[in-house]
Amino acid sequence: MKTKSFVISMLVILALCVAAISCNKDTSTTPTDPDNTEIPNSPTDCIDPEDAITVNLRNDGGSVTILDYPITINTANNFESSNENYTFVSIGELSGIGCITSIPQSGWSNQVAVIPGNGYVFKYEESNEAIGSYIVKYARLYVVRYLESAVNGGILGAEIKYQDNWNWYGTPIVSTSIITDITSTSAVCGGNVTSDGGTTVTDRGVCWSIIEEPTINDNHELSGSGLGDYTIQMTNLIPGTRYYVRAYAKNDFGIRYGEQNTFVTISEPIDYSKIVLNELNGDTKFIEIYNMGDLELSLEGMYITKDGNEEDIKWTGDATHIVPAHGYLVLYSIDTQADHPELGDNMFFNSGLSAKKTIRIALYMADGTERDVFTRGSTGEWGQTISNVAPQSYARTPDGGDWKLADPTPGRANPWYGEPIPQE
């Protein structure tokens, strides 16, 4: 009888132990979910991500920047954000930041209680209906412990871990490719979707407009779905017109746009007769080109020679050299490049420019036809005048008229005074 009682007692103890172990496991690995946030079961041992950052955040001042915005712990020991675009959600008790493996669908708030052992997700969300843009991205946090006062045991804040660049971006990541095969009415562009943001990319494509920051509310063309490179052809474009282009990608979180690129369609035909030399200065050493026409024009392929040597090209235009309608393009001598650090290398001609020597500056069209020329001998008025008065320029009267001596006005309309100076 004694043996039977002993066995029964052992079985009861074993059952209680099993029940206790089961309860402890549920408590430690299954976070509370008061807001039905669809949190998966948490593993008992979570590995911290390599880029997790540990900081002490006090509740009497100070902040930490997450997703480019500071968050704080207030005196009530709540995580707090004063910006309505930034919200938190607690996902309950976890064993580490690595246990946060999904994004809650509800329960977001500008304040949430700071509790040791709990995990949190921090969200930045911005919507702009006017341009059809929606951006959302996330960071994950974990509260390690309270910071307590050594004097009275009061809570001073908390030690937290966070990961700012968590691989849950919400909207996809897409870049805009370069623009190629430009004609008068068409061009080719595309994009590259490198991240789907955590959910399938359903639409991707390119949008374009004559107004900056185009969206899918403007001209756009689809090119499939998912990750990777793609291209489309933009058609029915207007000749001689500047367009702005952005790739885009869409998933369940919304739409994200790539960087903006721009191009100008080819005019039919390009009216090079509207491009003239407009001002020359031998002191600050610049050559100014003027567009007399009503459309912006590309100088791609045009070139400049100096002193009658047609084989010695001093400057050649490229696709970035766009002259606005009734606007100016100013090129400087390579001798003055140190004075203009804001300019790219393609804004300098490979020569000096003297005010007291024989000079012949010739502007050619891309096909080699001479478009405009300026010529003066060594005894011309330019050299004689500059030796006696403030440095001046040879400057053109409106619409490619006579040359006169005038005050320098690079990039602006020339003053029109003085007697015409005949070329030699």
* Domains of the chain (ranges, CATH numbers): 53-163 (no CATH), 173-264 (2.60.40.10), 272-406 (2.60.40.1260)
- pLDDT of 379: 45
Rounded Cα distance between 313 and 301, Å, is 12
Q: Which residue type occupies 222?
A: L
CB count within 10 Å of CB 422 equals 10
Largest CA distance in the chain: 136
Rounded Cα distance between 286 and 278, Å, is 11
Rounded Cα distance between 106 and 125, Å, is 14
Give the rounded distance of the alpha carbon of 258 from its chain centre. 8
DSSP 86-121: EEEEEEEE-S-GGG--S--SS--BSEEE--TTEEEE
- pLDDT of 229: 95
Q: Which stretches of the chain drop beneath a pLDDT of 70?
A: 1-45, 128-135, 165-170, 355-357, 377-390, 417-419, 422-424
- pLDDT of 93: 92
Rounded Cα distance between 388 and 259, Å, is 53
- pLDDT of 49: 83
356 CB-contact burial (10 Å; exposed 0-12 / middle 13-18 / buried 19+): middle
Instruction: Say whether pTM exceeds 0.95.
Output: no
Backbone phi and psi for residue 4, each to the nearest 5 degrees, phi listed first = -65, -45
- pLDDT of 29: 29
- pLDDT of 115: 95
Backbone phi and psi for residue 22, each to the nearest 5 degrees, phi listed first = -60, -45
Rounded Cα distance between 391 and 384, Å, is 11
354: left (phi over 0), alpha (psi -120 to 50) or beta: beta
